[in-house]
Homo-oligomer: A and B are copies of this chain.
């Protein structure tokens, strides 16, 4: 993946972020299927999931608990050797963020998300 253009890597990150913000179940599941590898795995200090269905359940759960919150990418997408990192915030669409963190992602050879590991920098 080290030869993947930076714009393509940013597109993966943005498609991933968009999947968190898609509240309609069918397009959310489609977005997850496009961006994640089949056995892709997510982990942060609070949540874990593996595979498209579990990732979808996790995102739906967060959307239900924090209705109206929007995930935003807040840094450039830094990448090398199939690894990405970018900073993000979660909170109301307008106004200050509630949670902030960094996602560290590993891509498969065909440019899908094999794993996303989130770390938290700000939490209430």
The answer to whether A104 and B78 touch across the interface, beta carbons within 8 angstroms, is: no
CA distance A80 to B102 in the complex (A): 13
- Bin the interface of chain A by size: 10 to 19
Query: Which residues of chain A (21-45) have a CB below 8 Å from chain B?
Result: 43-45
The smallest C-beta distance from A103 to any residue of chain B, in angstroms, reads: 10
The answer to whether B117 and A104 touch across the interface, beta carbons within 8 angstroms, is: yes
Contact among B43, B78, B83 with A43 in the assembled complex (CB-CB below 8 Å): B83
Known: A44-B80, A78-B119. 15 other contacts (CB 8 A): A43-B80, A43-B81, A43-B83, A45-B80, A48-B81, A80-B119, A81-B117, A83-B104, A83-B117, A83-B119, A85-B102, A85-B104, A85-B119, A104-B104, A104-B117
List 17 A-B pairs, Cβ < 8 Å.
Answer: A43-B80, A43-B81, A43-B83, A44-B80, A45-B80, A48-B81, A78-B119, A80-B119, A81-B117, A83-B104, A83-B117, A83-B119, A85-B102, A85-B104, A85-B119, A104-B104, A104-B117
